[in-house]
């Protein structure tokens, strides 16, 4: 950090995120993610949680433990006390998926006010795949090289000719709001996107999932890296209890119970599971839990 350009503040900071502030992280061929601003850090989560729990929380007195406890029990409001603002450039079809996350603030580039720029997403050859046979919404094996190249060529040529016509009509005075309706869904757009940490985790869980479209997954991956710098404790808890957790249905629990060894191992340290969680999991597996 160039300390001459720094401001002074009484606010809490996240040292490691400061180093990334304002940096553009490239995504896909011409997109990027850039952190514009943020509020709070791991301690801000703890601080808010302690308002709720007040004097009653003597037992969960360590920050990491408290953050894991909150995440594990779905106490989501303290995570809402952190906020982050991104500047993102993405293809319109990605923006359309993105915007479905309603609990966020958005300012998108307007093609009614401004001229659309000549920037289109052209997928890499190995990302141009066959329709998946097992996943009706996804892609499967790679297309034959030649066919994939044909698709790239078609896209490139089509984008160019559409943009040429767009420019020509704009120059003749056609209203921007009409001219742009010819533009394809792989045209790049930009937005400022501001969200709280709880809703960002929800976004990251859904959009980094293997069922999410490849292109938006790439944005989620970069954003996960950013979040791991910003709030490392919360991110660790997110991985443990959200992203890499699995939900078993009532029937699946029965199935698991019937397939357990006679005697369960009690080496909880080996798995890094806390004492209370270990008890709960064991009770769940043995059917000893109450309720």
Packing angle, helices 197-207 and 214-230, rounded to 10: 140
Is 108 labelled a binding residue? yes
Binding flag, residue 172, its own copies (CB under 8 A): yes
Site for its own copies in 111-140 (CB under 8 A): 112-115, 121, 123, 127-132, 136-140
Under the criterion CB under 8 A, does residue 49 sit at the interface with its own copies?
yes
Question: Which is nearer to its own copies, 141 or 225 (by Cβ)?
Answer: 141
Minimum distance, C-beta of residue 86 to its own copies, in the bound complex (Å): 11
Q: Which residue, chain included where needed, has tokens 């009409």?
A: 178
What is the C-alpha separation between 147 and 145, in angstroms, rounded? 6
Decide: residue 171, CB within 10 A, 0-12 exposed, 13-18 middle, 19+ buried.
exposed
Q: Verify binding: residue 18, its own copies, rule CB under 8 A.
A: yes
Half-sphere exposure at residue 263, Cβ-oriented, CA atoms within 13 angstroms: 3
State yes or no: residue 91 binds its own copies (CB under 8 A): yes
Rounded-to-integer distance, Cα 77 and Cα 80, Å: 5
Question: Does the annotation flag 141 for ligand binding?
Answer: no
Using CB under 8 A as the binding rule, whether residue 287 contacts its own copies is answered as no
Residues with a known catalytic role: 207
> Which class for 209: exposed (0-12), middle (13-18), buried (19 or more C-beta within 10 A)?
exposed
CA distance 247 to 250: 10
Q: Is 37 in the site for its own copies (CB under 8 A)?
A: yes
CA 30, 89, 3, 15 torsion-angle sign: negative
Residues of span 176-235 touching its own copies by CB under 8 A: 176-186, 190-192, 194, 196, 206, 210-211, 213
Report, in Å, the least distance between residue 222 CB and its own copies: 18
Nearer to its own copies, 102 or 288 (CB): 102
Tell me if 42 contacts its own copies by CB under 8 A.
Answer: no
Q: Is 38 in the site for its own copies (CB under 8 A)?
A: yes
Contact present, 14 and 23 (Cβ < 8 Å): no
Residue 269 C-beta: closest distance to its own copies, Å: 11
Question: How far apart (Å, rounded) are the C-alpha atoms in residues 29 and 33?
Answer: 12
**Interaction residues for its own copies, span 227-256 (CB under 8 A):** 239-241, 244-256
Q: What angle do helix axes 250-258 and 275-286 make, rounded to 10 degrees?
A: 90
146 lies in the binding site for its own copies (CB under 8 A): no
Q: Is 17 annotated as a binding residue?
A: no
Task: Give the interface size with its own copies as a residue count (CB under 8 A).
Answer: 139
**Residue (26 or 182) nearer to its own copies, CB:** 182
CA 271 to each of CA 34, 63, 74, 266, 274: distance values in angstroms, whole numbers, following the listed order:
36, 21, 21, 10, 9
Strand partners, 91: 188
The region of 25-33, 218-226, 227-235, 271-279 touching its own copies under the rule CB under 8 A is: 271-279
> What's the number of CA atoms in the CB half-sphere (13 Å) around residue 121?
24
Site of tokens 């859904």: 206
102 appears as a binding residue in the annotation: yes
Q: How far is the CB of 248 from its own copies (least distance, A)?
A: 5
- Binding-site residue positions for dUMP: 97-100, 108-112, 180, 207
- Binding-site residue positions: 77, 97-102, 108-112, 180, 196-198, 202, 207
């Amino acid at each position: 950090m160039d300390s001459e350009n720094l401001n002074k503040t009484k606010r809490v900071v996240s040292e490691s995120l400061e180093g990334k502030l304002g940096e553009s992280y490239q995504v896909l061929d011409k997109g990027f993610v850039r952190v514009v601003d943020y509020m709070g850090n791991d301690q801000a989560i703890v601080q808010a949680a302690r308002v709720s729990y007040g004097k009653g929380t003597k037992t969960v007195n360590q920050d990491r433990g408290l953050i894991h406890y909150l995440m594990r029990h779905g106490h989501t409001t303290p995570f809402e006390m952190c906020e982050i603002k991104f500047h993102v450039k993405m293809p319109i079809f990605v923006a359309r998926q993105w915007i479905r996350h309603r609990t966020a603030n958005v300012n998108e580039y307007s093609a009614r006010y401004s001229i659309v720029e000549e920037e289109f997403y052209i997928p890499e050859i190995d990302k141009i795949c066959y329709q998946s046979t097992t996943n009706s919404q996804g892609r499967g094996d790679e297309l034959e090289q030649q066919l994939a190249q044909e698709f790239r060529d078609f896209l490139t040529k089509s984008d160019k000719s559409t943009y040429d016509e767009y420019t020509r009509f704009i120059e003749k005075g056609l209203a921007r709001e009409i001219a742009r309706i010819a533009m394809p869904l792989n045209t790049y757009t930009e937005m400022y996107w501001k969200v709280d940490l709880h809703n960002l985790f929800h976004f990251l869980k859904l959009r980094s999932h293997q069922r999410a479209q490849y292109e938006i997954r790439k944005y989620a991956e970069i954003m996960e890296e950013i979040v791991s710098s910003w709030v490392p404790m919360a991110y660790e808890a997110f991985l443990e209890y959200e992203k890499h957790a699995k939900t078993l249905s009532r029937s699946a629990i029965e199935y698991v119970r019937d397939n357990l060894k006679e005697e369960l191992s009690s080496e909880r340290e080996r798995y890094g599971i806390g004492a209370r969680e270990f008890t709960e999991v064991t009770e769940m597996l043995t059917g000893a839990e109450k309720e």
